[in-house]
Amino acid sequence: DADVTQTPRNRITKTGKRIMLECSQTKGHDRMYWYRQDPGLGLRLIYYSFDVKDINKGEISDGYSVSRQAQAKFSLSLESAIPNQTALYFCATSGTGDTGELFFGEGSRLTVL
């Protein structure tokens, strides 16, 4: 089983709908992240959390919200989806070691029509 699990893996929805992407991890890491990836662009950080009581906005947080339900769970919500939120979304975790290496989930492909 994957250490970082995202659900759903694929979702097609309509403009205006509320969508939640869920992420759970078994690595025991405190730090969790949500990124989106678009063709021709680098990964862009949406939100990050360094522990259960810590939530921080990333580069592109507008239109998104998050919830850190437990150390192992970090959910991303789109309250009212719009077509330019069509993208590949990745959850990632990291420990507090020297390198800060990120461990990514398998990705959630979201299409907003």
Partner 1 sequence: GQNIDQPTEMTATEGAIVQINCTYQTSGFNGLFWYQQHAGEAPTFLSYNVLDGLEEKGRFSSFLSRSKGYSYLLLKELQMKDSASYLCAVMDSNYQLIWGAGTKLIIKP
Site residues for partner 1 per CB under 8 A: 40-45, 90, 99-107
Write out the E strands in 1-112.
Answer: 4-7, 10-13, 19-25, 31-37, 44-51, 54-57, 65-70, 73-78, 87-94, 103-104, 108-112
CB of 15 to partner 1, least distance (A): 25
Residue 98: CB atoms within 10 Å: 6
Q: Compare residues 10 and 80 and give the one whose CB is closer to partner 1.
A: 10
15/56 with CB nearer partner 1: 56
Q: Are 91 and 30 in contact (CB under 8 A)?
A: no
Please tell me whether residue 105 adopts helix, strand or coil conformation. coil
Q: Select 1 or 42, whichever has its Cβ closest to partner 1.
A: 42
- For 94, what's the count of Cα atoms within 13 Å in the CB-facing half-sphere? 12
Least distance (Å) between residue 78 CB and partner 1: 21
Q: What is the DSSP letter of 97?
A: S
Least Cβ distance, residue 77 to partner 1 (angstroms): 21
Q: Work out how close the CB of 93 gets to partner 1 at its nearest, in angstroms, rounded to a whole number.
A: 12
Nearer to partner 1, 50 or 52 (CB): 50
